[in-house]
Amino acid sequence: MSMSTDLAYADVGLTAREYELICQGLERSPTRLELGMFGVLWSEHCSYKHSKALLRRFPSSGSHVLHGPGENAGAVDIGDGLAAVMKIESHNHPSAIEPFQGAATGVGGIVRDILAMGARPVALLDPLWFGPPDSARARHHLGGVVSGIAAYGNCLGVPTVGGSIAFDPAYAGNPLVNVLCLGVARHDQLVTARGSGAGNPVLLVGSATGRDGIAGASFASAELNQASEERRPAVQVANPFLEKLLIEACLEALATGDVVALQDLGAAGLTGAATETAASGGCGVDIDTLLVPRREAGMTPDEVMLSESQERMLLVVEKGKEASVSQVFERWGLHVALIGHITSDGLVHIREGEKMVAEVPAGFLSKGFPEYQGPAVTLSPGERRSVAEEPPFAVPADLNAVLLRLLASPNLCNRRPVFEQYDSMVQTNTVVGPGQGTATVRIKQNGKALAVGIGAASRASALDPWLGGALAVVEACRNVACCGARPIALTDCLNFGDPERPEVWEALNASIDGIRAACLALEVPIISGNVSLYNETDGMPILPTPVVGALGLIEDANRHASAHIEPGQDLWLLGPDRAALAASEYAAVVHDWPGASLAPLDLELEGRVQGCVQELIASGHVEGAADLAEGGLAVALAELAISSGCGVDCESLTPTGGRADTAFFGEGPSRIIIASGPDHRSEIEVAASRWEVSLTRIGVAGGETIRIGQVIHISLQEAVEQWAPGLDRWMRV
């Protein structure tokens, strides 16, 4: 095996120090292929070398947890021998360069992570961030990403049941495309990627291997610039119809009991799948690249091992069972090839026929990378903030106009032009779909339901990263509580800029501490996640954007709540009557003011508010609930009225603290609007008292107007006219 290489370490994204460590670990210079393999597996995208030490702070155990971080996805017990499997991933860089394929392959990749655990994918959610939609670039990103998600998910037959879309100048060149997938499996069907059994055959199934996506993991580990367009071939090409076959074939193969390990070919392709399967099982693997099915002629071993062609899975099967397992995939019309076998020597052997082209220790290749600490933090909060603590503007005279303007703004207007492109009802498990409240899917096997909420607070994170991280957790959990679910697990996607910048490193550290504090306070573990760094364009980082997905369990699928009100229902505010204008949609849209002092977060109070609303919904005393989020109280009431076709009369509301705009458009945690019939008033008051949370009856549902305090009075029709055109204003330009 030749030790020479004409490929420089910098060409594969390695530093001089990392190259030196590789040479020391191997006790020789790496071959060309070996260098490429280290380049992808030691990339930020695969190794988490700037965040791994920080992530160890997260609580990841709990009474429901079956598999925590370290597997393809996390799994939790949901009763009756069933498990829910969940993970969120990012596909930011590919989507910036090739929006349709980047988003589509992002969906395909996260679905295969769920499949690799032995679970059937049952739901998708997609939190997205773009630049201002009045720019051609943002509209290009928006249209391509939404089309890619729709094309893949719809063809695949997995419903897209929820998500979010936000716009901010910070994401103009680097949109964020995060995708969460939820799956369900029986406990005895769960499988891992831990290879074992010397001599056990290794099968590669699914798509043939091509040159698309070569070294995509390295591409995703660098900031974007003008040269990034030249990396377009690093973006993979999607085939959802093939992935649908792959799902069914893999689940059928797993049912035979002959599969030892299953691994997705995602980032780092065959290199990643083979190495991680061997390393996690404490074994070795021998692969012959000539046995890999290819769709292009003349591919070298480097291209075969580094290709990130989609819709491929790696299986380790019991020796002697390879023929019967192969027949399953052949029956589904899929490529299946025996490309190697498990060894006991702990090495990754890569051959081209009889010629050895790479031979490295699996553990060293998979986990031998250095872990980095970011630069010393030198910026104080005072240096970060250069704005006044108090709002530098007076309360607008016409708050009717303010509400209508907010309802028409990109971050608050109707999302139907987006989610109507998604099939949210396929599989017929969707209980609450897009636009109706927190995404909720039925578990047909036991009559329970799973709810998934998304939390993110990028503007707040820019002002206070600790609080922004904590707010992402409590918002996600509050969302699932609003449909009556008990949060049992979290998944997170940490989207940040270059960690070698002091301010980015500081924000990443603080966000993780905030997430940890909220997890501990609410007693909900993180079971899976993703870190996406170097989200920058020409040196300009995105806002710190930690995204959290919360999984909630509803014991009776028929006993849930949605964001809906009916005429005659009482409307209550559950939680503290306090808010702030800092980081609010109102302050940003109407006054272009970021603010400085955020509303305080009492984590113990947050837990009581969520517990109270869960109990009220489970007991049947509350039929509708909505979290107070962007836009504050006035926007939340208007959105309930619009979605329900029913006005609200909250004229008796009196602003506290002196400013009507703070009271009605300010934002703060731990607040929920609940709707219930008048005959349940005493039960609601008793529950709030027992949970020691504030409760205020703010009005009644009904009529054809939206009345809030003495300062807002508009017709429901006026509100609909501003809100309803939604993103059509920009998507169809």
Beta bridge mates, 335: 206
pLDDT (0 to 100) of residue 379: 45
Would you state the structure tokens that stand for residue 473, as one six-digit string?
């957790």
CA dihedral for 325, 326, 329, 335, sign (positive or negative) = positive
Lowest-confidence region among 81-85, 121-125, 382-386: 382-386
pLDDT (0 to 100) of residue 733: 47
What single-letter DSSP state applies at residue 319? T
pLDDT (0 to 100) of residue 596: 85
What is the pLDDT averaged over residues 444-471?
Answer: 96
How would residue 729 be classed by pLDDT, with cut points 50, 70 and 90?
A: confident
**Cβ atoms of 94 and 236 closer than 8 Å:** yes
Would you state the structure tokens that stand for residue 381, as one six-digit string?
């909060």
Does any domain span residue 666? Answer: yes
Beta bridge mates, 341: 201, 286
Q: Is the pLDDT of residue 655 over 90?
A: no
Residue 485 CB neighbours (<10 A): 30
Taking the C-alpha atoms of residue 196 and residue 248, their distance in angstroms, rounded to an integer, is 24
pLDDT (0 to 100) of residue 381: 43
Mean pLDDT score of the chain, rounded to an integer?
93
pLDDT (0 to 100) of residue 376: 65
Would you state the structure tokens that stand for residue 83, as one six-digit string?
């498990």
Give pLDDT tens digits for 421-456. 999 999 999 999 999 999 999 999 999 999 999 999
Taking the C-alpha atoms of residue 308 and residue 231, their distance in angstroms, rounded to an integer, is 14
**Cβ atoms of 285 and 197 closer than 8 Å:** no
* 45 catalytic per annotation: yes
Give pLDDT tens digits for 533-553. 999 998 899 999 999 999 999
Would you state the structure tokens that stand for residue 432, as one six-digit string?
């609450």
What is the pLDDT averaged over residues 219-248?
Answer: 71
Torsion angle of the four alpha carbons 209, 213, 217, 221, in this order, in degrees rounded to the nearest 10: 180
Does any domain span residue 608? Answer: yes
Q: Is the pLDDT of residue 220 over 70?
A: no
**Cβ atoms of 639 and 435 closer than 8 Å:** no
**Cβ atoms of 43 and 10 closer than 8 Å:** no
How would residue 604 be classed by pLDDT, with cut points 50, 70 and 90?
A: very high
Give the angle 548-549-550 at the CA atoms, nearest 5°: 115
**Cβ atoms of 503 and 375 closer than 8 Å:** no
**Cβ atoms of 684 and 694 closer than 8 Å:** no
Q: Is the pLDDT of residue 518 over 70?
A: yes
How would residue 311 be classed by pLDDT, with cut points 50, 70 and 90?
A: very high
Give pLDDT tens digits for 179-217. 999 999 999 999 999 999 999 999 999 999 998 878 655
Coil, strand or helix at 156? helix
* 140 catalytic per annotation: no
How would residue 7 be classed by pLDDT, with cut points 50, 70 and 90?
A: low
Q: Is the pLDDT of residue 223 over 90?
A: no
Please report the DSSP string for 79-92 in residue order.
ETTEEEEEEEEE-H
Catalytic residue among 50, 64, 67, 91: 91
Please name which of 439, 433, 435, 477 lies closest in space to residue 455, comparing C-alpha atoms.
477
What is the pLDDT averaged over residues 639-644?
Answer: 97
CA dihedral for 600, 605, 609, 614, sign (positive or negative) = positive
**CA separation, residue 583 to residues 167, 231, 513, 661 (Å):** 14, 36, 20, 14
Would you state the structure tokens that stand for residue 614, as one six-digit string?
């869960």
Give the range of the structural domain holding residue 644, as residue numbers without chain letter: 561-728
Q: Is 702 exposed, middle or buried (0-12, 13-18, 19+ CB in 10 A)?
A: middle
* CATH value at residue 661: 3.90.650.10
pLDDT (0 to 100) of residue 389: 73
Please name which of 681, 231, 142 lies closest in space to residue 415, comparing C-alpha atoms.
142
pLDDT (0 to 100) of residue 682: 97
What single-letter DSSP state applies at residue 654? -
Would you state the structure tokens that stand for residue 509, as one six-digit string?
């550290």
Identity of residue 705: T
Residue % of the chain over a pLDDT of 90 = 88
Please report the DSSP string for 645-674 in residue order.
T--EEETT---SSS-HHHHHH-B-SS-EEE
**CA separation, residue 300 to residues 2, 203, 212, 532, 585 (Å):** 15, 20, 14, 30, 53
Taking the C-alpha atoms of residue 257 and residue 224, their distance in angstroms, rounded to an integer, is 45
**CA separation, residue 233 to residues 225, 307, 609 (Å):** 16, 10, 49
Helices (H), 332-398: 362-367, 381-384
Between helix 632-644 and helix 716-723 the angle, nearest 10°, is 100
Comparison of pLDDT for 83 and 217, the residue scoring more? 83
Does any domain span residue 144? Answer: no
- Let me know how long the chain is: 733
pLDDT (0 to 100) of residue 267: 86
Does any domain span residue 428? Answer: no
Q: Is the pLDDT of residue 653 over 60?
A: yes
Q: Is the pLDDT of residue 491 over 60?
A: yes
pTM, two decimal places? 0.94
**CA separation, residue 432 to residues 111, 162, 501, 638 (Å):** 21, 9, 42, 20
Please name which of 257, 264, 248, 281 lies closest in space to residue 73, comparing C-alpha atoms.
264
Give the angle 336-339-342 at the CA atoms, nearest 5°: 120
pLDDT (0 to 100) of residue 522: 98
**Cβ atoms of 185 and 85 closer than 8 Å:** yes
The 3-state secondary structure of 692-718 reads CCCEEEEEEECCCEEEECCCEEEEHHH
Does any domain span residue 703? Answer: yes
**CA separation, residue 423 to residues 149, 221, 420, 430 (Å):** 10, 32, 7, 10
What is the pLDDT averaged over residues 248-262?
Answer: 97
Identity of residue 230: E
Does any domain span residue 222? Answer: no
Would you state the structure tokens that stand for residue 135, as one six-digit string?
């720019």
Tally of domains in the chain: 1
Please name which of 699, 651, 691, 654 lies closest in space to residue 674, comparing C-alpha atoms.
699
**Cβ atoms of 636 and 579 closer than 8 Å:** no
Does any domain span residue 52? Answer: no
Give pLDDT tens digits for 95-139. 999 999 999 999 999 999 999 999 999 999 999 999 999 999 999
